Amino acid sequence: MIEKTLVLVKPDGVERGLVGEIISRFERRGIKIIGIKMVRVNKELAMKHYTEDITKRRGEHVRKRLMDFIVNNHVIAICLEGVDAVENVRKIVGETEPRAALPGTIRGDYSHISYKYADNKKIVVPNLVHASANKEEAEKEISLWFSQEELFSYKSVHDKHVI
């Protein structure tokens, strides 16, 4: 099934100059960019993106650290489209904990720290990218980050040769 998903290059990826490198990983798989922009994140947007669900799964301290990390900082928001895009993109991104992320994935190639190290330092694990976890989350996140006018439909060569 053709799906859409949301990717954010988080502030560590932007500040490390890895935006092009990260985007090319999706492009070379034939996944299509249908929306892209830089956003300075305000508190309201951050709270809507990192919801109570994060508190339930990871604890309030992680949500607070995510806020400190992302609010008043810059991210690149990208809407991607492709066959089973949610699953494919999460695979390209790799495991949440950089220490566990396999080489060949974005997180496994550009980060390495552990939860333990981050917790000792009281920081969020800087893992470069956010990618929607499932189809339902993808739909919610895409409508949070993009208006209808910012999303595009076009034919790429991948429609002929890759899909």
- Residues acting as catalytic residues: 130
What whole-number distance in Å separates Cα of residue 63 and Cα of residue 34? 29
What whole-number distance in Å separates Cα of residue 118 and Cα of residue 45? 24
What whole-number distance in Å separates Cα of residue 111 and Cα of residue 126? 8
Positive or negative: CA dihedral 146, 142, 102, 29: negative
Where are the alpha helices (H) located in 18-128, listed in sequence order?
19-28, 43-49, 52-58, 60-70, 85-93, 106-110, 115-121
**Closest separation between CB of residue 157 and ligand ADP, Å?**
31
**Closest separation between CB of residue 159 and ligand ADP, Å?**
29
**Closest separation between CB of residue 21 and ligand ADP, Å?**
18
Between 58 and 135, name the residue whose CB sits nearer to ligand ADP: 58
Between 39 and 54, name the residue whose CB sits nearer to ligand ADP: 54
CA distance from start to end of the chain: 11
**Closest separation between CB of residue 58 and ligand ADP, Å?**
4
Residue at shortest CB range from ligand ADP: 96
Binding residues for ligand ADP (CB under 6 A): 54, 57-58, 62, 66, 96, 115, 118-119, 124-125, 127, 130, 133
Between 100 and 163, name the residue whose CB sits nearer to ligand ADP: 100
Q: What are phi and psi of 76, to 5 degrees?
A: -105, 120
Structure tokens at 121: 């330092």
Between 71 and 162, name the residue whose CB sits nearer to ligand ADP: 71
